[in-house]
């Protein structure tokens, strides 16, 4: 009978000990005075959050150069004649866009529902109808073109709307033009992580190995026209800036800024 009482007594002792250590421990605080994070009203079902810059809301492509080349109907835009590039330039961003390859399947491999979203005009996340469509893996949908395939193929069938949610961290260059920090990219395709903070090897090219070339801290986003009528809708971006904190003098020799913008 002894064991019947032993176990609860032991549990009580452990609980009391945990409670004691919780009660009398000193709370650790970093001492950093953080700025208050701004309030953002989230969107519903992929719609733009309150602080987003809307690049296409289904009505017009006035936020894009060469936007007049594309066809707008029924709340979406169809790629046509040329690529388009955002008039506004961006560095680190979150991008949301929705795309659909043609419902009628034509062509094979890279010729089937090909488009692409280029960050800073030179780093392409491939858009392709990769639903049961063989091509080179580092050229299929959601690949970083000729740098890495997606982790998995999350492509929906031809004609179906698909989402890309992309976090892009721009590369940085020093004054001499040398790469100081590579670019990084995370991609969710239809809600599935397909690029997990991939370190980019440079610009994405069809006829050259990837390499970096110095460019401005902010550049346009481009959408490719590759001969196929790919549809787009609901395109918005959010500029990403680090939240800033200050470590006050009593904690450090001088005020120290944490997470410099």
The CB-nearest residue to Mg ion is: 116
State the nearest-atom distance from the C-beta of 130 to Mg ion, in Å: 11
Pick the stretch among 70-78, 158-166, 185-193, 220-228 that binds Mg ion (CB under 5 A): 220-228
Cβ closest to Mg ion, residue 92 vs residue 124: 124
How many residues line the site for Mg ion (CB under 5 A)?
A: 3
What is the spatial distance between Cα 235 and Cα 231, in angstroms, rounded to a whole number? Answer: 12
Q: Judged by CB under 5 A, does residue 203 bind Mg ion?
A: no
Cβ closest to Mg ion, residue 138 vs residue 239: 138
Cβ closest to Mg ion, residue 48 vs residue 97: 97
Q: Judged by CB under 5 A, does residue 83 bind Mg ion?
A: no
Q: What are phi and psi of 6, to 5 degrees?
A: -65, -45
Contact by Cβ (8 Å): 54, 48: yes
230 is written with which tokens?
Answer: 């790919």
Cβ closest to Mg ion, residue 219 vs residue 238: 219
98 is written with which tokens?
Answer: 């929705």
Pick the stretch among 92-100, 113-121, 146-154, 176-184 that binds Mg ion (CB under 5 A): 113-121
Q: What are phi and psi of 20, to 5 degrees?
A: -60, -45
Pick the stretch among 37-45, 115-123, 196-204, 243-251 that binds Mg ion (CB under 5 A): 115-123
By CB under 5 A, what part of segment 6-65 binds Mg ion?
none
Pick the stretch among 45-53, 162-170, 224-232, 245-253 that binds Mg ion (CB under 5 A): 224-232
State the nearest-atom distance from the C-beta of 111 to Mg ion, in Å: 11
Contact by Cβ (8 Å): 103, 114: no
Cβ closest to Mg ion, residue 83 vs residue 183: 83
E strands, the chain, in order: 33-34, 53-56, 64-65, 71-73, 76-78, 84-86, 93-100, 115-119, 123-127, 162-169, 172-173, 179-181, 184-189, 192-199, 222-223, 231-239, 245-247, 256-258
134 is written with which tokens?
Answer: 């063989």
Q: Judged by CB under 5 A, does residue 116 bind Mg ion?
A: yes
Pick the stretch among 108-116, 176-184, 191-199, 213-221 that binds Mg ion (CB under 5 A): 108-116
| 206 burial type by CB count under 10 A (0-12 exposed, 13-18 middle, 19+ buried) | exposed
Binding site for Mg ion (CB under 5 A): 114, 116, 224
């Amino acid at each position: 009978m002894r064991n019947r009482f032993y176990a609860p007594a032991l549990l009580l002792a452990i609980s009391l000990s945990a409670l004691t250590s919780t009660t009398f421990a000193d709370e650790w605080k970093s001492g950093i005075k953080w700025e208050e994070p701004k309030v953002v009203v989230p969107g519903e079902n992929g719609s733009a959050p309150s602080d987003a810059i809307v690049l296409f809301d289904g009505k017009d492509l006035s936020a894009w150069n060469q936007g007049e080349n594309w066809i707008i109907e029924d709340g979406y835009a169809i790629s046509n004649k040329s690529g388009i590039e955002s008039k506004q330039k961006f560095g680190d961003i979150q991008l949301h866009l929705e795309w659909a390859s043609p419902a009628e399947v034509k062509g094979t491999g890279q010729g089937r529902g090909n488009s692409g979203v280029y960050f800073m005009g030179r780093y392409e996340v491939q858009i392709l109808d990769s639903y049961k469509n063989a091509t080179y893996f580092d050229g299929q949908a959601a690949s970083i073109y000729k740098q890495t395939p997606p982790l998995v193929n999350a492509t929906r069938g031809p004609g179906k709307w698909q989402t890309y949610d992309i976090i892009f961290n721009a590369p940085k260059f020093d004054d001499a033009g040398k790469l100081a920090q590579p670019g990084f990219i995370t991609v969710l395709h239809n809600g599935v992580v397909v690029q997990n903070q991939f370190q980019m090897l440079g610009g994405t090219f069809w006829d050259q190995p990837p390499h970096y070339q110095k460019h401005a801290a902010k550049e346009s986003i481009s959408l490719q026209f590759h001969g196929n009528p790919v549809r787009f809708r609901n395109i918005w971006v959010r500029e990403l800036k680090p939240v800033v904190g200050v470590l006050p003098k009593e904690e450090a020799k001088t005020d120290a800024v944490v997470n410099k913008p």
